[in-house]
Amino acid sequence: SQQGEEDPQALSIQEGENATMNCSYKTSINNLQWYRQNSGRGLVHLILIRSNEREKHSGRLRVTLDTSKKSSSLLITASRAADTASYFCATDSRTSYDKVIFGPGTSLSVIP
């Protein structure tokens, strides 16, 4: 099975609200990344957090990592219609360092 699992599967919010997505994984990791995918397009890297980090910010994005719970969250503040996309977490593993495995994704709809 895949290493990462996002929750919820789908999320619909009003523009201006915050969106929170969660990711859980199964094995020890070196780092966790979040990606965005607009419909029918390739993925765009958003942020990387290393296993020894607990929180990271990038613009309106805030990522947390709890290695004891094997989970991460992505918070998008003050959402915009342009944030509508699918969001994926991706992890490597300590035993397979060069393979990046993606979860099933959260589909976010931001309603203007």
Partner 1 sequence: EADIYQTPRYLVIGTGKKITLECSQTMGHDKMYWYQQDPGMELHLIHYSYGVNSTEKGDLSSESTVSRIRTEHFPLTLESARPSHTSQYLCASSAYTGLTEAFFGQGTRLTVV
* Binding residues vs partner 1 (CB under 8 A): 2, 30-31, 33, 35, 40-45, 48, 50, 86, 88, 90, 92, 97-105, 107
CB of 63 to partner 1, least distance (A): 13
Q: Which is nearer to partner 1, 40 or 112 (CB)?
A: 40
CB of 102 to partner 1, least distance (A): 4
Tell me how far the alpha carbon of residue 105 is from its chain's centroid.
8
CB of 96 to partner 1, least distance (A): 9
Q: Which is nearer to partner 1, 35 or 70 (CB)?
A: 35
CA distance 51 to 36: 21
CB of 16 to partner 1, least distance (A): 26
Q: Which is nearer to partner 1, 22 or 102 (CB)?
A: 102
Residue by residue, what is the 3-state secondary structure of 20-75?
Answer: EEEEEECCCCCEEEEEEECCCCCEEEEEEEECCCCEEEECCEEEEEECCCCEEEEE
Residue 57, exposed/middle/buried by CB under 10 A (0-12, 13-18, 19+)?
A: exposed
Q: Which is nearer to partner 1, 50 or 80 (CB)?
A: 50
